[in-house]
Amino acid sequence: YENYERLKFSNRSLAMAEQQEQLPCPDYKSYLSEPDESCKDFIMQQTMMRIKDPKRSLDFYTRVLGMRLLKRLDFPSMKFSLYFVGFEKAEDIPADEEERTRWMFSQKATVELTHNWGTEDDPNFSYHNGNKEPKGFGHIGLAVPDVYKACERFESLGVNFVKKPNDGKMKGIAFITDPDGYWIEILSPNKLPTLE
């Protein structure tokens, strides 16, 4: 019996090893090393998304998601504006505009909303959200204390859902869309999603 159990365990281990080899990038752990010293002060500063109508987008990112408008930059000769939003405290934002610009570009994980002037007046204009064919960009993610409470609020505000927390096989995460159809994952580090 002992030899049978050993054989069973050995076969199971072999199957797991074979399965591991079939996964893409089986040597991913080799990338867990320390980054090059020359990169130690790099940060992930922004994700840029093109928007059709700044009024609708700014309302969504500030009032609905709770971000703050950190800085607006206008480029009249090229007919576009940039709106940087993020989760920063009002008291941390410098009053001086030049200092504010430098400060904003040193914050982590901001969203840069890019508006090419005139798109808001074209009823047929829309951007590709990356989740339609051909697929590319997927989503940004928002960590919240409680996914279910956050989604109740989003629902009361008329936000569009791609997936509600209890939909599908993965429970405890949701996907909503912004006014341009970009997906936003809603997750909680306090309660990670479960598979059913």
pLDDT digits (tens, 9 = 90+) for 117-142: 999 999 999 999 999 999 999 999 99
The whole-number pLDDT of residue 192 equals 87
Q: Is 185 a catalytic residue?
A: yes
d(CA 120, CA 145): 34
d(CA 141, CA 101): 25
For residue 116, pLDDT beyond 50: yes
pTM of the predicted structure, to 2 decimals: 0.86
- Going by their DSSP bridges, the two strands 139-143 and 183-187 should be labelled as parallel
- Going by their DSSP bridges, the two strands 80-86 and 194-195 should be labelled as unpaired
Q: Please pick, among 2, 21, 88, 185, the residue that the annotation labels catalytic.
A: 185
State the pLDDT confidence band at 9, using cuts at 50, 70 and 90: very low
Burial label for 139, CB within 10 Å (0-12, 13-18, 19+), is middle
d(CA 173, CA 134): 25
User: In this structure, what token pair is assigned to residue 121?
Assistant: 């007046």
pLDDT digits (tens, 9 = 90+) for 52-67: 999 999 999 999 999 9
pLDDT digits (tens, 9 = 90+) for 67-96: 999 999 999 999 999 999 999 999 999 999
State the pLDDT confidence band at 18, using cuts at 50, 70 and 90: low
159 closest CA partner among 56, 87, 82, 86: 56
The whole-number pLDDT of residue 5 equals 45
The three-class DSSP label of residue 163 is strand
User: In this structure, what token pair is assigned to residue 133?
Assistant: 């064919």
